[in-house]
Chain A
């Protein structure tokens, strides 16, 4: 059921791509588990008539990725989202969406109240207040060009929190919708609708800050290095340009100046000086010192250590004087950091798993269509014999993905290397069991699993073949094969020295018959 909902309802991999990117750039990513009904208006033939009706294709969930610019918590010093006094999330709704919410009862306002709200529609970005983040994202996305500026929208806050709305010391978890800047009445004021008592937001912080809600941004960590790198690169290019300009500019004695010439330095336009040779010297000097700033490479090296991503991992060629040891150090440090980031993200995914199960539990009781789908997917009622109160105590949600899985390719490369190293080894060639083990591990590591036996046979077949080979060699007088056979067949099946040792009267190497102990 969980995988079914993750794939069909949440489109989890797709959504998680956005979430994780937000988490890396912004430090904190926020998702929201929402109810979703897929319905549409169709026309179909009923008897002789063509009639129009609304049909529902699916009742279920969706995972919204919330932009950081649209999400606020009451207190940045409280880590746990559920312990925040309140959390707020901004949505922009068209008038049609506002009306739909009023019609289906989500917004508990009257038609008269809706009429008062209608003039409050505005255009995103034109409306105030607009934060730098709003502005930056719209510029980056070119969203103004994409047409938002032509649509009126209503700026609505959804606030979940523990409130005492009547000032009677009766605190309870509530859900409010209010229009930004409109204080006369809320669009919705109700008890928190979900039974599980957990706010339906999910927070991902790959690098947490101790005792802070907002996590560390990977982009923010390298910001100073990034800016220094930009400055140095542009200075280099600038210096180069100036040097070229200086080199291409005719520098003439002032006596050659005509009236219409101005003292303005332009490409290929002459400039007139009292001592032109000094200017040429300056240009040559600039050219010599600003070939390429070696500190830029140093900055990249520092960035590697901060991020834990080494040049080869990023697909960049290894430059400078880095040794294999230095590269390996960055990679191993980075792998540890990365594994920790994965653990932190999986905390969010575990919570997602519990919330999906709990919401499915509730929705299955509220909506027969959803209950039917879940029963069909699970082949039986997955919630039979369990209550919401027991669910988190009894059921353990375990995220499957880990760095071992991510390292599968590295593991495959390692086994290919081992194969190259040992395939011509004399002991591997001599013993089919060693050879089988090596081939088997290589195939396993590259993901061939079920077909292995078709390719290289079973372990038992190889063992039989190896025994036959050994016996054949022993019969042909191969001493080492005879020793191996004796070793297998001897009393107890272990031990060495069943040939006569040096210093005895018998010739060393003579094989003792099975069952007999050398004296």
Chain B
């Protein structure tokens, strides 16, 4: 028999309205507070993807290249991480440490 439970908070109209406004306001304030950090991260993505630097060129055809330094480093670490953690199976194993019974392999 499947388990079913009632989860609704059954808020009154005013409580629901207050709660909704409070959540929208809280998230909006947090988004604004994080704007500088988000700007910086946006720059990190641009550098990782070797997008040309965003600057005013002084003359036509002025060189505007990106040294792929961020890409070298991030990709180098990333592939090592992937190989290390997901390079074998199982990815995770489970041990039963029940003191009452001796350890045994789980069917998990």
A91 in contact (CB, < 8 A): no
Minimum CB–CB distance from B63 to chain A (whole Å) comes to 4
Bound Cα distance A300, B4 (Å): 60
B102 in contact (CB, < 8 A): no
Bound Cα distance A176, B37 (Å): 26
Cβ of B44 and Cβ of A300 under 8 Å apart?
A: no
Among listed A33-41, A252-260, A400-408, interface-contacting one: A400-408
Q: Inside 8 A of B53's CB, which chain A residues have their CB?
A: 227, 230, 234
Bound Cα distance A160, B73 (Å): 35
Cβ of A25 and Cβ of B41 under 8 Å apart?
A: yes
Cβ of B46 and Cβ of A218 under 8 Å apart?
A: no
Q: Inside 8 A of B24's CB, which chain A residues have their CB?
A: 157, 178, 180-183
Residue among B4, B8, B12, B69 facing the most chain A CB atoms (10 A cut-off): B69
In the complex, what residue of chain B is closest to A68 when comparing beta carbons? B41
The verdict on A25 contacting B51 (CB below 8 Å), with A72-B31, A157-B23, A366-B3 known, is: no
Our pick among B19, B28, B81 for the contact of A342 (Cβ within 8 Å) is B81
A511 in contact (CB, < 8 A): no
Residue among B8, B23, B88, B106 facing the most chain A CB atoms (10 A cut-off): B23
Our pick among A129, A163, A229, A398 for the contact of B69 (Cβ within 8 Å) is A229
The verdict on A163 contacting B19 (CB below 8 Å), with A189-B11, A382-B108 known, is: yes
Cβ of A219 and Cβ of B47 under 8 Å apart?
A: yes
Bound Cα distance A378, B105 (Å): 12
Q: Tell me the A351-410 residues at the B interface (CB within 8 Å).
A: 352-353, 357, 365-368, 378-380, 382, 394-403, 405-406
The verdict on A402 contacting B44 (CB below 8 Å), with A378-B107, A395-B94 known, is: no
B65-107 CB contact bits vs A (8 Å, 1 = yes)? 1110110111111101111111111111111111000000011
In the complex, what residue of chain A is closest to B13 when comparing beta carbons? A185
Chain B: interface secondary structure? helix
Our pick among A69, A167, A241, A399 for the contact of B61 (Cβ within 8 Å) is A241
B34-53 CB contact bits vs A (8 Å, 1 = yes)? 11011111111111110101
Cβ of A400 and Cβ of B8 under 8 Å apart?
A: no
Cβ of A401 and Cβ of B20 under 8 Å apart?
A: no
Cβ of A17 and Cβ of B82 under 8 Å apart?
A: yes
Cβ of A303 and Cβ of B69 under 8 Å apart?
A: yes
A225 in contact (CB, < 8 A): yes
Minimum CB–CB distance from A459 to chain B (whole Å) comes to 26
In the complex, what residue of chain A is closest to B61 when comparing beta carbons? A241
A136 in contact (CB, < 8 A): yes
Bound Cα distance A230, B67 (Å): 5
Q: Inside 8 A of B75's CB, which chain A residues have their CB?
A: 314
Q: How many residues of B are in contact with the other chain, CB < 8 A?
A: 78
A390-432 CB contact bits vs B (8 Å, 1 = yes)? 0000111111111101100000000000000000000000000
Cβ of A21 and Cβ of B26 under 8 Å apart?
A: no
Our pick among A16, A234, A350, A367 for the contact of B82 (Cβ within 8 Å) is A16
A322 in contact (CB, < 8 A): no
Cβ of B9 and Cβ of A349 under 8 Å apart?
A: no
B56 in contact (CB, < 8 A): no
Cβ of A395 and Cβ of B95 under 8 Å apart?
A: yes
Cβ of A230 and Cβ of B39 under 8 Å apart?
A: no
Q: Inside 8 A of B74's CB, which chain A residues have their CB?
A: 21, 24-25, 218-219
Our pick among B12, B30, B46 for the contact of A88 (Cβ within 8 Å) is B30
Among listed A1-9, A461-469, A485-493, interface-contacting one: A1-9
Q: How many residues of A are in contact with the other chain, CB < 8 A?
A: 109
Cβ of A222 and Cβ of B73 under 8 Å apart?
A: yes
Q: Inside 8 A of A220's CB, which chain B residues have their CB?
A: 40-41, 44
Minimum CB–CB distance from A220 to chain B (whole Å) comes to 5
Cβ of A350 and Cβ of B17 under 8 Å apart?
A: no
Bound Cα distance A174, B10 (Å): 12
Minimum CB–CB distance from A134 to chain B (whole Å) comes to 8
A302-317 CB contact bits vs B (8 Å, 1 = yes)? 0100011100011010
Bound Cα distance A17, B81 (Å): 9
Bound Cα distance A6, B84 (Å): 17
Cβ of B92 and Cβ of A398 under 8 Å apart?
A: yes
Bound Cα distance A366, B1 (Å): 8
Our pick among B35, B43, B82, B108 for the contact of A131 (Cβ within 8 Å) is B35
Bound Cα distance A352, B93 (Å): 12
Cβ of B65 and Cβ of A2 under 8 Å apart?
A: no
Minimum CB–CB distance from B66 to chain A (whole Å) comes to 6
Q: Inside 8 A of A167's CB, which chain B residues have their CB?
A: 15
Minimum CB–CB distance from B84 to chain A (whole Å) comes to 4
Our pick among B15, B64, B96 for the contact of A165 (Cβ within 8 Å) is B15
Our pick among B65, B83, B97 for the contact of A406 (Cβ within 8 Å) is B83
Cβ of A314 and Cβ of B73 under 8 Å apart?
A: yes
Bound Cα distance A399, B92 (Å): 4
Q: Inside 8 A of A296's CB, which chain B residues have their CB?
A: 67
Cβ of B65 and Cβ of A234 under 8 Å apart?
A: yes
Minimum CB–CB distance from B108 to chain A (whole Å) comes to 5
Minimum CB–CB distance from A339 to chain B (whole Å) comes to 9
Q: Inside 8 A of B92's CB, which chain A residues have their CB?
A: 2-3, 6, 349-350, 352-353, 397-400
11 contacts between A and B (CB under 8 A): A1-B107, A1-B108, A2-B94, A13-B86, A25-B44, A157-B27, A165-B11, A178-B20, A226-B70, A397-B94, A401-B86
Instruction: Please name the 9 residue pairs, one residue from A and one from B, whose CB atoms are nearest each other, closest first.
Output: A136-B42, A237-B63, A406-B84, A219-B44, A401-B85, A133-B38, A183-B21, A190-B7, A229-B67
B residues lining the A interface (CB < 8 Å): 2-4, 7-9, 11-13, 15-17, 19-21, 23-24, 26-28, 30-31, 34-35, 37-49, 51, 53, 58, 61-67, 69-70, 72-78, 80-98, 106-108
Q: With A316-B72, A357-B108, A378-B107 given, name 6 new contacts (CB 8 A).
A: A68-B38, A86-B23, A133-B39, A178-B23, A222-B73, A226-B66
